[in-house]
Structure 1
Amino acid sequence: MVDGDTIDLGPPQAQVRYRLVGFDTPETRTPRRKVSADERALGRLAKERLVELLHSGPVDLTEITCSCPPATIGTKRCNAGRKCGILKVNGADVGATLIAEELAVPFVCGETRCPPMPNWPKIIESQFPSRRTE
């Protein structure tokens, strides 16, 4: 388990990393930007919930073609080298479950590219506004 939307499958010497599609979870760390304590905490909750789901029943991963340009698939320029997949547990899409539980947001790529990454600091602020008194 990597985080709430990325998993590793297979034996350690031959693991394949998958970016689960259709949703995005908060970051626990990323080289792209500083991750706030609130985002890191919510990202950990998403990861823990995904682990719970994985242990709750039959798992089915369907590999799908990434939205990246064909020449970049399998490289760092496409999903950081990850394959893309849809993960279901007990027949239910884990992304839909995490979205319903407010641990993820929808993130749907088009045929040839993905939208900008969600602005997690802004999403967290809108879901959990500060309780400061004015």
Structure 2
Amino acid sequence: MAHAAPVPARTTSTTRIEPRTPDFFSGRAHTVGRWAVPFVIGLVYGYWAAANRRAGGPITTGNLVFGFVTVIVFTVLMAGVLYVAPRLRRELHAFVWFLFSAVAFGFLYNQSGESLLLTVGLSLGFGAIVGLFCFYWFYTHEDAQGRSVR
């Protein structure tokens, strides 16, 4: 089984040694990834929403425009959540992910033509599951100010 080679530790002004995690990508790759990952996820989401909306019918120009507008809106919203949410306290951080996931799921499910009451109920349930999972994750991996405890 392959293991990563140990990374030399950084020393601070005191004698305390802080372990450093390996970074395989350059700063430019991380900058591109901050927009590329939400865009790729947005492409999948936009295609899925357009496919739900046409319900197996023919692909039309309006359907393509709807898909591309969905990609743009979803990408901007997801990039905003990825930028803003980590700067919040863990409760608000989890609440932002609850809202985003509930709205994204509800919009996607609503395109299939189901009733509004069922869409709202399922999206609130899905968002609650995501929000609770996120809160648990942030609670066990961050302190009260949102700094990583590792």
TM norm structure 1: 0.24
RCO (CA 8 Å, sep 6+): is it higher in 1 or 2? 1
TM norm structure 2: 0.22
More strand by share: 1
More helix by share: 2
Structure of larger gyration radius: 2
